[in-house]
């Protein structure tokens, strides 16, 4: 017999919102920073992983992108990140946000970045059976023109597993302003790419940012989206349209100080019947993993076994892989659920 917490940790999972750099393991992050002489904001792990808000965290995040320099650093990080996530939370599929603009600033080109990451992820898929796709993230600190050029790079170098456009960081004013990138999204969509956007995450964001992502950018999915709750009309619409929300519980606790309890915005989105999956966002920085997101955050939201299975399946519904892969994942999840249901203490 197993407890509900063990059940939640062992449940098969698909993760849709995971920034590649944040799959670095803490010891490797600190060792690589030392090797390359990269100044992290602090070398005290307690402070390195402690932030006032998103803007404060992004300082550490940008520094961490600088420790991944050689193809071997990138490929090994990719492979080891999958192995760790399988051990910590029974990961079966994951989508990675990769921000090439951070790397281009240091002379690492688009294909130089993508090739080794893909090598590592394909090796992990072969060895561990964990499928994946890559979402290219627009750096919101940079211009709308640079975002269009980024999509042009994607179209020049198509990869079968690089399937979508997203965004990260914040605008120079510290806002989300997703609509700034309308031209880049239109170009991506014309060429059949899927789309997502970080929206409705920060203190200054609003439900309007979520609406703009949906209506101006035409996204297929929303990353975060918590502010949607401030507009009941929009809540009704996204429930009706089954818009996928890739939420990240522990990150909201670290960056916004929201307690992980039944009144949390994500818990309320789930109770409102929205299409919610959960992810780590930035595991290394928020000292989380997918097992913890389920066994601690979902547990403390008051989610039971049936609710957790629905959230795990929402990770497949909202994924950007093809229907055949989704069907295989659903079959694997269902088999895993059956075994765990039989073991769950009554």
The residues binding ligand ADE (CB under 6 A) are 19, 54, 61, 168-169, 198, 201, 251, 281-282
Residues 6+ apart with CB under 8 A from 322: none
Query: Do the beta carbons of residue 256 and residue 57 sit within 8 Å?
Result: no
Residue 201 interacts with which of ligand ADE, Zn ion, none, CB < 5 to 8 Å by class: ligand ADE
66 vs 281 by CB, closer to Zn ion: 281
12 vs 178 by CB, closer to ligand ADE: 178
183's tokens: 């031209």
Rounded least distance, CB 179 to Zn ion, Å = 18
Burial call 45-78: b when 16+ CB within 10 Å, e when fewer = eeebbebeebeebbebbbbbbbbbbebebbbbbb
11 vs 138 by CB, closer to ligand ADE: 138
Rounded least distance, CB 84 to ligand ADE, Å = 18
Binding footprint of Zn ion on the chain (CB under 5 A): 281
180 vs 198 by CB, closer to ligand ADE: 198
Give the nearest residue (CB) to ligand ADE.
168
One DSSP character per residue, 224-243 reads: E-GGGGG-HHHHHHHHHHT-
Strand ranges across the sheet with 194-199: 13-19, 91-98, 131-139, 162-168, 194-199, 221-224, 244-247, 275-278
Q: Where are the beta strands (DSSP E) in 41-181?
A: 91-98, 131-139, 162-168
Rounded least distance, CB 2 to ligand ADE, Å = 32
By C-alpha distance, which of 342, 341, 332, 340 is closest to 14?
A: 332
Rounded least distance, CB 90 to ligand ADE, Å = 23
208's tokens: 């309007």
90 vs 280 by CB, closer to ligand ADE: 280
Rg from Cα positions in the chain = 19
By C-alpha distance, which of 59, 58, 77 is closest to 68?
A: 77
Rounded least distance, CB 166 to Zn ion, Å = 8
Bridge pairing between strands 221-224 and 162-168: unpaired
Q: List % helix, strand, coil for the chain (3-state, nearest 5).
A: 55, 15, 30
Residue 66 interacts with which of ligand ADE, Zn ion, none, CB < 5 to 8 Å by class: none
Q: Is there a catalytic annotation at residue 240?
A: no
From the list 201, 293, 296, 306, the catalytic residue is 201
95 vs 169 by CB, closer to ligand ADE: 169
Q: Say which DSSP state 11 is in.
A: S
- Compute the distance between CA of residue 78 and CA of residue 296 in angstroms, rounded to an integer: 25
Give the nearest residue (CB) to Zn ion.
281
Rounded least distance, CB 242 to Zn ion, Å = 21
Residue 61 interacts with which of Zn ion, ligand ADE, none, CB < 5 to 8 Å by class: ligand ADE
- Write the burial class of residue 148 (CB in 10 Å: 0-12 exposed, 13-18 middle, 19+ buried): middle
161 vs 169 by CB, closer to ligand ADE: 169
48's tokens: 């390195």
Rounded least distance, CB 251 to ligand ADE, Å = 6
- Compute the distance between CA of residue 245 and CA of residue 2 in angstroms, rounded to an integer: 30
Q: Catalytic amino acids?
A: 201
């Amino acid at each position: 017999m197993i407890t509900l917490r063990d059940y939640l940790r062992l449940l098969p999972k698909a993760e849709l919102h995971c920034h590649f750099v944040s799959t670095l393991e803490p010891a490797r992050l600190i060792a690589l920073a030392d090797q390359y002489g990269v100044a992290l904001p602090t070398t005290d792990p307690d402070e390195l992983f402690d932030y006032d808000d998103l803007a404060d965290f992004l300082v550490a995040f940008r520094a961490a992108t600088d420790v991944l320099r050689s193809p071997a650093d990138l490929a090994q990080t990719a492979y080891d990140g999958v192995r760790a996530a399988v051990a910590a939370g029974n990961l079966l599929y994951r989508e990675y946000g990769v921000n090439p603009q951070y790397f281009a600033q240091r002379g690492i080109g688009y294909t130089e970045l993508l090739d080794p990451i893909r090598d590592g992820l394909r090796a992990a898929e072969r060895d561990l059976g964990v499928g994946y796709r890559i979402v290219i993230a627009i750096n919101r600190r940079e211009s709308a023109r640079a975002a269009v050029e980024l999509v042009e790079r994607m179209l020049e170098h198509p990869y079968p597993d690089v399937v979508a456009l997203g965004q990260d960081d914040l605008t120079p004013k510290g806002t989300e302003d997703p609509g700034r990138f309308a031209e880049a999204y239109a170009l991506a969509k014309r060429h059949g790419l899927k789309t997502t956007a970080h929206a409705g995450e920060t203190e200054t964001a609003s439900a309007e940012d979520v609406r703009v992502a949906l209506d101006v950018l035409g996204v297929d999915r929303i990353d975060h989206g918590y502010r949607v709750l401030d507009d009941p009309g929009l809540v009704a619409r996204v429930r009706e349209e089954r818009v996928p929300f890739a939420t990240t519980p522990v990150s909201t606790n670290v960056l916004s100080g929201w307690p992980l309890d039944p009144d949390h915005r994500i818990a309320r989105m789930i109770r409102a019947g929205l299409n919610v999956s959960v992810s780590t966002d930035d595991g290394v920085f928020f000292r989380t993993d997918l097992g913890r997101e389920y066994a601690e955050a979902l547990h403390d939201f008051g989610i039971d076994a049936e609710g957790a299975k629905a959230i795990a399946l929402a990770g497949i519904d909202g994924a950007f892989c093809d229907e055949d892969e989704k069907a295989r994942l659903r079959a694997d999840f269902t088999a895993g659920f059956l075994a765990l249901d039989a073991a769950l203490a009554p």
